[in-house]
Amino acid sequence: MRTHTGRLRARRHRSFGVSAVEFALVAPVFFASLFGAIDGGLLLFSANAINHSVGLGVITVAQEGNTATTDTDAILAIRTQGFGAAGFAKVDEIDIFKTTVNPSTGSVSQDMTPNCTGGVACLNRYNLSGALLNPAAGGAPPWDPTTRQTSLSSLANVGITIRSHYNYLAFSAAQMTLNFTRYFQLEPQS
């Protein structure tokens, strides 16, 4: 005859098997949700860091105007104070370019007219370390910072774009491209 303790042991043993099956069914969903939430937070952090970095680049270029080291100082600010200081995404390219403003609509776009060094558009492409990716003749940037207009009557319109990508940590094959652009006008220099 079975005793009361024997029945409790058998019930506990069956209950343990049910718990293991429930855990096996719920655990993948739980951990995927947990790691997805962490990844989403890191993605938002990276997007915010890139947006902040573009702002630092804008401030540097707007303040320095047409000094010879404007672009390199802006990239240094982006690398040390902005995105390079804390970010999970990888910067692919930093573009500093001349923009045009449509007087009737007010829309801003990149100036693609070939009126810079070497007869190309006024676009300087850099990597995060500051190396020029599209040098003109002689290794100079196509849009030399010293040629930017900073007189009150004709201020240069400038744009900065940071192109980057974020590799998801939880889903290793997935990748998201993050591009942030800001347009601004140079400060008048005295």
pLDDT of residue 168: 83
Alpha helices for the chain (secondary structure H): 4-64, 70-80
The answer to whether 180 and 162 have CB atoms below 8 angstroms apart is yes
Q: Is residue 4 part of a domain?
A: no
Non-local (6+) Cβ contacts of 150 within 8 A are 65, 66, 156, 186, 187, 188, 189
How far apart CA 123 and CA 158 sit, in angstroms, is: 10
pLDDT band for 12, please (50, 70, 90 cuts): low
Non-local (6+) Cβ contacts of 56 within 8 A are 74, 77, 78, 81, 82
Q: Is residue 6 part of a domain?
A: no
Query: What token pair was written down for 164?
Result: 């980057």
Q: Is residue 168 part of a domain?
A: yes
Q: pLDDT per residue over 29-56, tens digit each?
A: 999 899 889 988 988 888 898 999 999 9
Q: Is residue 19 part of a domain?
A: no
Residue whose entry in the numeric block shows the structure tokens 């940037």: 141
Q: pLDDT per residue over 143-177, tens digit each?
A: 999 988 887 777 888 999 999 998 887 767 788 89
Q: What is the mean pLDDT of the chain?
A: 85
pLDDT of residue 155: 83
Buried b (16+ CB within 10 A) or exposed e, 68-99: eebbbbbbbbbbeebbbeebebebeebbbbbb
Q: Is residue 12 part of a domain?
A: no
Q: Is residue 15 part of a domain?
A: no
Nearest-10 crossing angle of helices 4-64, 70-80? 160
Q: Is residue 21 part of a domain?
A: no
* Helix or strand holding residue 179 (H, E): strand 175-185
User: How many domains, the chain?
Assistant: 1
List the domain range (segments joined by +) for residue 113. 31-185
Q: Is residue 81 part of a domain?
A: yes
